[in-house]
Structure 1
Amino acid sequence: MKKVILNLAVSLDGFIEGPNGEVDWCIMEEDMHFDAFIESIDTIFYGRVSYDAWGNFQPDENTSPAEKAMWQGIHAKHKFVFSKQDRTAEKATFIADDIVSKVTAIKQENGKDIWLYGGAGLIKTFINLGLIDIYKISVHPVALGSGKPLFEALKGRVGLILTGTRVFKSGVVELTYEPEKQLIANS
């Protein structure tokens, strides 16, 4: 069965965006092997705002070949957008309701894992519905002071078990967790 993987950057003080939506503090290093993560998925889940901002993003001509290849890989994935808007003629499938059963059906399809890209509202919904199988959180060595927090307005405590760590030369630390209930269910 496919797994839903939340893979994102967070500041040391817990923000996924700065106070003006900026993400310029995110570090991308070759030794992070983000291309391997992109290769491990075939589907991306977006909220509508994130999809509108990044779902069809095209890097400019000054972008490095590696970053261009990354975006090409991202755009080759099947995309689902969770939104009350029902838009057609998009390069994505829009889901407006019945999230749990639709996500469950997508997870049961053949193929690779699913990247829960975000944004914050969709991440909160997936956390509260227990739909995230793996949390891959890259903590960046910067404190923003304010912005959009990763964990906000949760319905209750979310127990996580650390299953892996990686440290990069920039000081970024990648922490991989699985929810307690899933590890118990997999035992």
Structure 2
Amino acid sequence: MRKIILDLAVTLDGFIEGPNGEIDWCIMDDEVGKYFETFRASIDTVLYGRTSYVEFGNHQPDANSPQDVIDFYRDINQMKKYVFSRTLGTVTDNATVIKDNVVEEVNKIKQQPGKDIWLFGGASLITTFVNHDLVDEYRLSVHPIILGGGKSLFQDIKQRVGLTFLKAVPYTSGVVTLYYQRATT
């Protein structure tokens, strides 16, 4: 069965955005770029909340962007997308809006043939997935910065979630990607 992978950048103090939504603290060097190249080859579906989809779901980088950024968005924009929203009406041809029955719909998606699935976010969608035990693997790239405020990664989690450590991969930039899977009972 396909896995749902929460893969994102987080600060040392647990924020995924700064106080004004900024993500300029994310380090994107060659090592991290190679990681994303490997990661995107392992997925073929992306899950978005409404805001994340509107902001990033069809993002087109500037022509002067680094080639790895252009390649990343080219590949991601061609993947199958599911947008979890009760209010969003219009999406691209390769996107489907899911308005309700989240657990049932996600389990249907996981049963389809294909590669793994990226839970892109945002924060409220991540909360929904964690609270419904839908995340199979957590890959958190911890960046060497303390913001002191912003949007927390985990908000309003209703119960304890046991995780099993898989590995940690350090990069020369100071970023460390931590791999965990949902603990089996």
Q: TM-score normalized by structure 1? A: 0.94
1:5 aligns with 2:5: yes
Aligned length: 182
Change (3 A) 1:171 1:90: same
Separation in 2, partners of 1:93, 1:124: 20
Q: Aligned pair 1:115/2:118, yes or no? A: yes
Q: Report the counterpart of residue 165 of structure 1 in structure 2.
A: 168
Q: Pairwise mapping of residues 19-98 of structure 1 onto structure 2 (< 5 A)?
A: 19-32=19-32, 33-88=35-90, 90-91=92-93, 92-98=95-101
Distance 1:86 1:14, change over 3 A: closer
Cα separation, 1, equivalents of 2:91 and 2:157: 34
Counterparts of 2:62 and 2:90 in 1: how far apart (Å)? 27
Match of 1:128 in 2: 131
CA distance in 1, matches of 2:107, 2:56: 25
Aligned partners of 2:183 and 2:91: how far apart in 1? 40
Q: Secondary structure, in 3 states, of the residue corresponding to 1:52?
A: helix
Query: Of residues 179, 182, 185 in structure 1, which corresponds to 2:182?
Result: 179
Q: Give the partner amino acid of 1:17.
A: E
Query: What CA RMSD, in Å, does the superposition of the two structures yield over aligned residues?
Result: 1.0
- 1:110–1:177 CA distance, 2 compared to 1 (3 A): same
4+ residue stretches of structure 1 with deviation over 3 A?
none
Q: Which runs of 5+ in 1 are unaligned?
A: none
Work out the CA distance in 2 between the residues paired with 1:116 and 1:159.
Answer: 19
Q: Extract unaligned runs of 5+ from structure 2.
A: none
The Cα shift of 1:157 comes to 1.1
Bigger shift: residues 46-55 or 153-162? 153-162
Structure 2 residue matching 1:7: 3-state secondary structure: strand
Q: Give deviations 1:38-90, integer Å, cap 9, x for gaps.
A: 11000000000000000011111210111101110111110000000252452
Aligned residue for 1:137? 140
**Identity between Structure 1 and Structure 2 (%):** 51
- SS for the counterpart of 1:13 is coil
Q: Which amino acid is 2:26 matched to? A: C
CA–CA distance in 1 between the matches of 2:55 and 2:160? 31
